[in-house]
Amino acid sequence: MPSPTTDPVATRRVSLLTLGCARNEVDSEELAGRLAAGGWELAAEPEDSDVVVVNTCGFVESAKKDSVDTLLAASDTGKKVVAVGCMAERYGNELAENLPEADAVLGFDHYADLSDRLDDIVAGRKIESHTPSDRRKLLPISPVQRPTAAETVEVPGHAQHGWGPRVLRTRLDTSPVAALKIASGCDRRCSFCAIPSFRGSFVSRQPDEIVAEAMWLAENGVKELFLVSENSTSYGKDFGRDGARALELLLPRLAAVPGIERVRVSYLQPAETRPGLVKAIATTPGVADYFDLSFQHSSETVLRRMRRFGSTDSFLALCDQIREYSPNAGIRTNVIVGFPGETEEDVAELERFLTGARLDAVGVFGYSDEDGTEAETFEGKLDETVVAERVSRISALVEELTSQRAEDRIGDFVDVLIEQAEDGEDPIGRAAHQAPEVDGECVLIETDDLPSLAVGDFVRCEVVDSEGVDLIVRPAPPEADR
């Protein structure tokens, strides 16, 4: 009989390292829930575990490099290392061949029995590496046929089937904000994006299941829900005729969950953002008047080559529509410059949009080829120096415009969720127009009557200054304007 120090069952400790977006964070907490249900103990540090599971990101080249570097660093601990997540799903056995430091490269189809697979790895049993395939082919072409079919297909973040009322998730931090996945996959065919090929076709989670998970998160100390998916504006499209307003109907249900004080929606496609959804996000009590809109560009010529829709004028009209409901609504986006065929006139059109839109935050990215995408085959590729120059040019404009937008908020009142409150330091939090990590923060300055604040508190504040996109705020008196 093996001794306790060598018996794999007696040393079942695992740590999870997560890279990439908030969707990956949800997937990691689902994996943590699966492993805990399988008898694994979660370790905070890789050095204290038997197996290190790295949830990789495979979206852009820099993210792939970060994933590889993290896998190599995990291997340096001397522990068993397993790659999961988007990069593992996308490259599978190719990644395994080029990264022998990883003891296994597992795809989404391994998630359901991950506990058993880690037992195999600790015991020294060889696991065949994942072989990638186009996951869009796993679900029916017709969206309304997908919810039932998804019960037999491994879709990360949709693990509740067969678990009844139990939420298959274990929190990996104590933050008062948590991502909540409402859907997975994408049916769009943007020419620069490979995500649908390894994340699969779009499929919504059922509203009752989402609300149940929201209640569980609230019971575990969450105050703000961050709704995530690859395309939130498509939520409910696979519910049939009753799905057109599914997100509009879901939002007030989530906002009414006891303990939840703010609900934030992310990943909206401008071409699919209907007036009813705009109104629901901008006016529903408890829902942040925050619009994370994936514009990507505003030149019609570039957008068509991206296989997207819209224009500078239509995008500006959407921003105006939002601000008719909520003048202080937060709007953020990402843009890609240097796309194949982009001209100086196209860049000028993008500048016209950015100048007129008064956005709160903008991520600027230079185009680079992505494996297996349509754009990889396009003619008209720009020299890297030209792309870099345009990134610098647009970034400088964005920095100026978003700083001005923050200055415009001086004198406004905002509700700040406290996320850092350490002795001797100014408390730090976020207002409704600021999403976690990407949109700036609020710094509370000390006053004689500054209340004792803790992480998770909501504080009504007045904006007194700004630094870039960050706001300097102070607690407002009880009679402050709401």
Half-sphere exposure of 352 (CA within 13 A, CB side): 15
The closest of 314, 315, 320, 317 to 335, measured between CA atoms, is: 315
Which of the residue ranges 162-176, 214-228, 252-266, 340-354 would you say has the lowest mean pLDDT?
Answer: 162-176
**Which superfamily, per CATH, for 412-475?**
Nucleic acid-binding proteins (2.40.50.140)
> What is the mean pLDDT of the segment spanning 102-128?
93
CA 304 to centroid of chain Cα atoms:
25
- At residue 197, the pLDDT reads 92
The average pLDDT across 225-254 equals 94
The whole-number pLDDT of residue 150 equals 79
Confidence of residue 185 (pLDDT cuts 50, 70, 90): very high
pLDDT at 482: 56
pLDDT at 54: 95
Q: Is the pLDDT of residue 31 over 80?
A: yes
Q: Give the residue-averaged pLDDT of 380-404.
A: 98
Question: At 475, phi and psi to the nearest 5?
Answer: -55, 135
Beta bridge partners of 259: none
Residue 164 has pLDDT above 60, yes or no: no
The answer on pLDDT for 266 being more than 60 is: yes
Q: What pLDDT sits at residue 160? A: 60
**Which residues, in sequence order, are CB contacts of 359 under 8 Å at separation 6+?**
319, 331, 332, 333, 398, 401, 402, 405
- Residue with the bigger pLDDT between 365 and 423: it is 365
* pLDDT exceeds cutoff 80 at 378: yes
Distance set, CA 378 to CA 268, 340, 424 (Å): 27, 7, 55
Q: Is the pLDDT of residue 377 over 50?
A: yes
Question: β-pairing, 262-265 with 183-184?
Answer: unpaired
What is the Cα Rg of the chain in Å? 23
Q: What is the mean pLDDT of residues 204-231?
A: 95
What is the per-residue pLDDT for 168? Answer: 87
Task: For residue 65, give Cα distances in angstroms to 56, 101, 402.
Answer: 10, 15, 30
Residue 446 clears pLDDT 80, i.e. is over it: no
* CB 183 within 8 Å of CB 246: no
pLDDT for 11 beyond 90? no
Task: Provide mean pLDDT across the span 360-370.
Answer: 96
pLDDT band at 3 (very low <50, low <70, confident <90, very high): very low
Query: For residues 462 and 60, which has the higher predicted lDDT (pLDDT)?
Result: 462
In this predicted structure, the answer to whether residue 6 has a pLDDT above a threshold of 50 is: no
Is the predicted pLDDT of residue 262 greater than 70, yes or no?
A: yes
**What per-residue confidence (pLDDT) applies to 60?**
74
Any binding-site annotation on 193? yes
pLDDT of residue 105: 95
Highest mean pLDDT out of 141-145, 415-419, 452-456: 415-419
Highest CATH level, class, for 138-408: alpha beta
Residue 57 is assigned to a ligand binding site: yes
Q: Give residue limits of the domains in the chain.
A: 13-130, 138-408, 412-475
pLDDT band at 148 (very low <50, low <70, confident <90, very high): confident
Question: 11 vs 4, which has greater pLDDT?
Answer: 11
The pLDDT of residue 481: 62
Confidence of residue 448 (pLDDT cuts 50, 70, 90): low
Question: How many beta carbons lie within 10 A of that of residue 375, not counting itself?
Answer: 22
The angle formed by the CA atoms of residues 8, 24 and 55, to the nearest 5 degrees, is 35
Cβ burial 406-445 (10 Å sphere, 16+ → b, else e): beebeebbbbbbbbebeeeeebbbbbbbbbbeebbbbbbe
Return the pLDDT at 8.
45
Q: Over the stretch 412-433, which tens digit does the pLDDT of each residue have? A: 999 999 999 887 788 999 999 9
Q: What is the pLDDT of residue 458?
A: 95
Rounded average pLDDT over 30-50: 93
| Helix segments in 125-267, DSSP class H | 146-149, 195-199, 207-219, 246-255
CATH fourth-level superfamily of 13-130? Methylthiotransferase, N-terminal domain (3.40.50.12160)
Residue 19: pLDDT band (50, 70, 90) is very high
| Residue 287: partners with Cβ closer than 8 Å, 6 or more residues away | 251, 252, 255, 262, 263, 264, 265, 280, 281
Residues 448, 462: Cα–Cα separation, whole Å: 15
At 450 the pLDDT is 66
Residue 61 has pLDDT above 90, yes or no: no
